[in-house]
Amino acid sequence: MASRLLHRLRHALALTGEGPGEVVPGPEAEEFPESSELEEDDTEGLSTRLSGTLSFTSTEDDEDEEEEEENADPLGSGAALGRRLKNPGEDGAGEDGDRNPSSDGPRSSNLLTRQLQDFWKKSKSNLVPQRLHFEVTSANVINEPPSKYVLYTIALIGPGPQEHTPAQISRRYSDFERLHRQLRQQFRGPMAAVSFPRKRLRRNFTAETIARRSRAFEQFLGHLQAVPELRQAPDLQDFFILPELRQAQRLTCTGLYQEALRLWTNAWRLQIQLGTTVDTHRTLLTLVGLAVCHQELEQPSEARLSCEQALQMLGTSDSHPLLGPFLEAHVRLSWRLGIDKRQSEAQLQALQEAGLTPTPPPSLKELLIREALD
């Protein structure tokens, strides 16, 4: 293409009586050698304005450029950008016909770069919020004859600063493998793209194998959490929550309240991190465990707070079997702390008069002991 244009240019010069040797390259020809071959091409202005290198990390700002940037199109890709990419042949000769492209080119190129920078920064601010991050914090070889396995501890780290210790779970390879098998049976399509580390007959306890599986489990859980259909799967929720609730319930029933409180607290944080507090039954059961352990450990303020959270969740569900026990505990704890209890007392009396809860209602501890977790 360039050779044809050069041939046409030389032919035109020969017809006007000017020799090819009289053509003196201007400043733009020295800076952009290709412009000497494209002098009569309609894209001269475009090629001149787009010359240069785009950089999203540039910090060089000209005062004149800053003034133009303030009056530019805020989107960086609208009419202002369109005017800078406009074909010079479409404007009047009085405006652009006498303009020197070489003097306007660098300035327009820098302004175009600035606009692309702003557009890129704006697009970054519109990205999807960061998802939950999974990190294997430890992997311990457990030797319990006749079995021997690796127990992986995974921390759930949410976006933003962490106000509390991250929620965490401890699972072994067989737990992950069971979850993978269950999800593949129910979600063949979404699970087709999810990778999972295979079983090994040997070298299961080497540092290399443990490290590789740790990274694989992080990616596996991250992939499941990224797909909405998989994220809401009951089997995945059971994988995270159910073992913690069962162990916390056992410890509470045996009177090990301090150890149980740690597990109830971790289960509560797990549900918040995973966004599963919509599962009212398990969330309320967790608040029952927290209230019971705080009461047994002589922490009435914390126990009352757990009851208040449960009452807010229950709202006007007068027929819910846990409403009466939570109200009764809230009244008793408020009286102990010297806090006004008349509203909860009146609501509890109304439930008893309507026959919706026995008099007196069962205690939260009794309900927790009788609860069958499945």
pTM: 0.64
Share of the chain above pLDDT 90, in %: 52
Per-residue confidence at 114, pLDDT binned at 50, 70, 90? low
Per-residue confidence at 163, pLDDT binned at 50, 70, 90? low
| C-alpha pair distances (Å), 147 with each of 204, 214, 356 | 13, 20, 50
Fold for 240-374, please state it: 1.25.40
CA distance 175 to 256: 26
Per-residue confidence at 12, pLDDT binned at 50, 70, 90? low
pLDDT higher than threshold 60 for residue 228: yes
Domain boundaries, the chain: 25-125, 132-231, 240-374
pLDDT higher than threshold 50 for residue 247: yes
Chain mean pLDDT for the chain = 76
pLDDT digits (tens, 9 = 90+) for 49-101: 333 332 233 333 333 333 333 344 433 444 333 443 344 444 444 444 444 44
pLDDT higher than threshold 70 for residue 20: no
Bond prior to 360 in cis (omega within 30° of 0): yes
**The token pair that represents 361 in the structure block:** 């209602």
User: What per-residue confidence (pLDDT) applies to 39?
Assistant: 36
User: What per-residue confidence (pLDDT) applies to 104?
Assistant: 53
**The token pair that represents 38 in the structure block:** 């494209």
Mean pLDDT of 221-248: 94
Beta bridge partner(s), residue 133: 157
Fold for 132-231, please state it: PX Domain (3.30.1520)
Describe the crossing of helices 342-353 and 323-337 by its angle, rounded to 10 degrees: 150
CA distance 224 to 182: 13
pLDDT higher than threshold 60 for residue 280: yes
User: What per-residue confidence (pLDDT) applies to 200?
Assistant: 85
Per-residue confidence at 111, pLDDT binned at 50, 70, 90? low
Per-residue confidence at 351, pLDDT binned at 50, 70, 90? very high
| C-alpha pair distances (Å), 219 with each of 1, 3, 133, 184 | 51, 55, 9, 16
User: What per-residue confidence (pLDDT) applies to 5?
Assistant: 54
**Same topology between domain 132-231 and domain 240-374:** no
